[in-house]
Structure 1
Amino acid sequence: MTAQPLQIGGGRATIGDFAPKLAALTDDVLFKEVWNRTELAARDRSLITVAVLIAGGDPDQLRFHLGRAKENGVTETELIEAITHLAFYAGWPKAMTAITVAKQLFTT
């Protein structure tokens, strides 16, 4: 596996003062330990995460992870195609919500 960018969470920066334990788990377990495992590339983890967030109807988390996916080498074209593909598996309303989030992020 080739070198990949170190994945760093933002839990402490965003919610650390309000929910310190959740922030620590986000940064220290989810990102430091899980996201940096070498068995999957960060790019693949990003695509999986984006797909699950779309399927789960989680637009707030999707907003962050679409940006993270781009940082991990997924192109906007690939993300739009993934959302289009997921319309048939996760549901049309969820895909429409996801594409609206993507459009806001990619066109600003």
Structure 2
Amino acid sequence: MANETTAAREAFGDLAPALADYTDQVLFGDVWQRPGLSPRDRSLITVASLVALYRTNELPFHFRKARENGVTADELIELITHLAFYSGWPTANTALTIARTVIKDSGA
């Protein structure tokens, strides 16, 4: 995996190679591969957490990952709409702006 190009290696591997390794091997290797939840369920949970916590920097990546894991564009919008009542209107509005771009760019 050390020679493999990954999103983490491209994003910050030059600056923090150990963090890129942990991201690839522990987070997306061990944690995301655990059998207790499907990748789709993990994506829904992760996106909901990122929206609620206003972690906008991570949202584009995880919106795309959710789409790759079978979450539909309509489901992402429904998730954001639902969260507006729990995490607040500003978090939902910001997430919708990011989702619009990701969905438009993916062609779906």
RMSD: 1.0
Deviations, residues 4-28 of structure 1 (Å, cap 9, x unaligned): xxxxx62123211111111111111
Q: Does 1:45 align with 2:46?
A: no
Q: How many residues align?
A: 100
Match of 1:91 in 2: 88
Q: Structure 2 CA distance, aligned partners of 1:91 and 1:14?
A: 30
Match of 2:64 in 1: 67
SS at match of 2:58: helix
Match of 2:23 in 1: 26
TM-score, scaled to structure 1: 0.89
Match of 2:3 in 1: none
TM-score, scaled to structure 2: 0.89
Q: Structure 1 CA distance, aligned partners of 2:45 and 2:8?
A: 20
Q: Structure 1 CA distance, aligned partners of 2:8 and 2:104?
A: 26
Deviations, residues 17-73 of structure 1 (Å, cap 9, x unaligned): 111111111111000000011110000000000000001101120110000000000
User: Where do 4+ consecutive residues of structure 1 move more than 6 Å?
Assistant: none
Q: Structure 2 CA distance, aligned partners of 1:10 and 1:34?
A: 17
Q: Does 1:55 align with 2:58?
A: no
Identity among equivalent positions (%) equals 55
